Amino acid sequence: MASSQPPHDTAQHTILSPGPARPQARAARVVVIHGEGLGQRVVVEAAPVLVGRSQEADLVIAHKSVSREHCRIWRDDSGYRVRDLGATNTTRVNDRRIDGEAGLADGDQLTVGESILKFISEDSVEASYHEQIYQLATHDALTELYNRRHFIEAADKEIARALRQPLPLALCIVDVDLFKPVNDRHGHLSGDEVLRQIAAVLRRHARAGDIAARIGGEEFALLLPGCALEAASTFADRLREAVAATAFAPGGEPQRITVSIGIAALGPGRQDRAALMAAADAALYRAKHAGRNQVCVQE
Q: What is the pLDDT of residues 167-216, one digit of tens each?
A: 999 999 999 999 999 999 999 999 999 999 999 999 999 998 999 999 99
Residues catalogued as catalytic: 218
How far, in Å, CA of 277 to CA of 172, rounded? 9
Task: Answer yes or no: are the C-beta atoms of 84 and 91 closer than 8 Å.
Answer: yes
pLDDT for the residue numbered 30 = 93
| SS3 assignment for 222-244 | EEEECCCHHHHHHHHHHHHHHHH
pLDDT for the residue numbered 297 = 97
How far, in Å, CA of 191 to CA of 198, rounded? 11
How far, in Å, CA of 290 to CA of 41, rounded? 43
Residue type, 271: Q
pLDDT for the residue numbered 11 = 43
pLDDT for the residue numbered 280 = 98
pLDDT for the residue numbered 84 = 97
| SS3 assignment for 49-81 | EEEECCCCCCEECCCCCCCCCCEEEEEECCEEE
Task: Answer yes or no: are the C-beta atoms of 214 and 169 closer than 8 Å.
Answer: no
Does the predicted TM-score (pTM) go above 0.85? no
pLDDT for the residue numbered 25 = 43
Spell out the alpha helix ranges (H) of the chain: 126-138, 148-164, 179-186, 188-205, 229-245, 273-289
Task: Answer yes or no: are the C-beta atoms of 291 and 227 closer than 8 Å.
Answer: no
Query: Could you say which residues of the chain have pLDDT below 70?
Result: 1-26, 125, 127
pLDDT for the residue numbered 22 = 36
pLDDT for the residue numbered 24 = 42
How far, in Å, CA of 220 to CA of 147, rounded? 9
Residue type, 120: I
Phi and psi at residue 199, to the nearest 5°: -60, -40
pLDDT for the residue numbered 125 = 67
Residue type, 176: V
